[in-house]
A and B are shown apart, each in its own frame.
Chain A
Amino acid sequence: MSYIVPIGPYHPALEEPVHAKLYTEGEVITDAEVYVGYNHRGIEKLATERNAIQTLVLVERVCGICSHSHSFTYAMAVEGINGVEVPRRGQYIRVITAELERLHSHMLWAGIAFHIIGHDSMFMYTWDAREVIMDMLEELSGNRVNYAMVTIGGARRDISDDMRRKFLKNLDACVPKLDRITEIALNDKTIALRTKGVGVMSTEDAVRLGAVGPHARASNVKIDVRKDAPYSCYDEFDFNICTWDSCDVFARVVVRLLECYESVKILRQALENLPEGPINNGNKLPKIAEGEMVSRHEAPRGQLIHKVVGNGSLFNHRVSIHVPTFKNVTTVPLMLRGNTVADAGLIIAGIDPCFSCLDR
């Protein structure tokens, strides 16, 4: 018997507005369609009537998880147009916040994935480890979401020497927890049965459909904006691009957990070698010069793109925001085909989607 099974417009586990239509033959999905646009807030439109500092506040609200990525990328675009040089200490603080954000985002996703798999103890372990990172972010910025750490030309808050030492200690405390999570994820039978061979996307398909970020790396595509087009001070750190060749949901779990170790590696280097000097170029409201710039940043979910067009006034002429989910969600129908309806929730969640950011 063939059925059409609608899922959404509210994802059962992720609390994200997406609607998936599954065409099934018995239990098996033969085709699928994905619909977005349930949370279109007109942020790009609003940004055309805001100045640069107001836009930083606005774009930060595109996403709750990767809020720093948006203000970071927007600031890079405006600095690119205006030709502003950012002090090195400011660059380091931006990178530290970005990597802390990546850690907490990956752990949040891993926790939710374990919850969907049905391994709730692991969900709690992972979110317990994530709490250490959230405490660090709170101490650094004063907030648990929307960190407001970026201004045009640098960072807004400094890291004191005490805080730096404390963060290094916290990272040491976080690694054993991460080790335990990774060990269980790699060896547990429940996780293996639910994830291995589920939602396969081959390397050729990942390249053809233009997948980005950890989702592409889990299909053995070696792309990472931090390495391919280094920005800020990423070229000063030693880290690896993590890939996995099984191309299924298991690979997506493993790649994200391995990337947590790389983030810890970058954080250690950044905190130990934090340069002296100013953190920004002062708080003067900048004019956006005539010109345009596309800046790219490796957000936790993949390549984040901001295009800013300036017309010489205080306001943006155009801000165009494209999040990694925009590229990754088009791979979902392909991954769903041939799997059972019971795995659909996990496969959709496997791309670490952020549909609210996609709609922006």
Chain B
Amino acid sequence: MQEYRTIPITKTDIVPTALRMRHEGRHLVMIHGYLDKDGSTHVSWDYAVGNAVESYYIVGETTFPSIEGVYDEAARWPELELYELLGLTFEGLDTSARLFLPEDTLETQGKGHIVVTPLSELREKRLEMEKEE
């Protein structure tokens, strides 16, 4: 059966953990991020270790060092996704190209609002916009 383990780390452990995992030949499953119920960010670096996923997580931070130098493209896309959809900053990550959002979204609408704003609020905003039109 697949297992799942969570391990809390600090910002300084991110790159050493990635280097250790790379050295051991582990697969970077994904970098996941979400807002917990208190509204603080929860970001986890998930690695496949045998039949388990080890999830190294940090709560309440918004800037992180990029591990693109360790895991190459396998880390770049997940980091870009978190930058666009959650508004998190990865130091050393090239963010000039967009991933999911339209070319002009970052300038005109800000970033990170899609996953953060409750759907009901977005719906109300949309209705208001329609009324104004």
Contact = CB atoms under 8 A, between A and B. Distances in A.
Nearest to A37: B100
Contacts of B99: 36-37
Nearest to A322: B30
A326 B73 CA distance: 10
Interface on chain A toward B: helix, strand, loop, or mixed SS?
mixed
B129 interface: no
Counting contact residues on chain B (CB < 8 A from A), the size range is 35 or more
A129 B72 CA distance: 40
Q: Which of B6, B27, B37, B53 has the most CB of A within 10 A?
A: B27
B107 to A, nearest CB: 16
B127 interface: no
Contacts of B28: 210
B13 to A, nearest CB: 19
A231 interface: yes
Contacts of A45: 114-115, 119
Interface string B56-85: 000000000000000111101110000000
B71 A317 contact: no
Contacts, number: 93
A358 to B, nearest CB: 9
Contact of A209 (B30, B55, B72): B72
Contact of B72 (A208, A292, A318, A326): A208
Interface in A291-349: 292-296, 303, 305, 307, 309, 311, 317-318, 320, 322, 326-327, 330-331
B81 to A, nearest CB: 8
B52 interface: yes
Contacts of A230: 1-2, 51
A44 B30 contact: no
A326 B98 CA distance: 15
Interface on chain B toward A: helix, strand, loop, or mixed SS?
mixed
Interface string A225-248: 000111100000000000000000
Contacts of B34: 309, 317-318, 320
A210 B71 contact: yes
A231 B27 contact: no
Given A45-B114, A45-B119, A330 B52 contact: no
Interface string B94-133: 0001111110000000000011000110000000000000
A209 B68 CA distance: 11
Contact of A229 (B35, B48, B97, B115): B48
Contacts of B53: 294, 296
B77 A293 contact: no
Contacts of B73: 209-210, 330-331
Interface in A1-50: 33, 35-37, 40, 42, 44-46, 48-49
B93 interface: no
B119 A229 contact: no
Given A294-B30, A320-B32, A326-B77, 19 more contacts: A33-B97, A40-B100, A40-B101, A42-B114, A44-B115, A46-B119, A76-B2, A207-B25, A208-B72, A210-B71, A210-B72, A212-B27, A229-B2, A229-B51, A230-B1, A231-B1, A293-B4, A295-B2, A322-B30
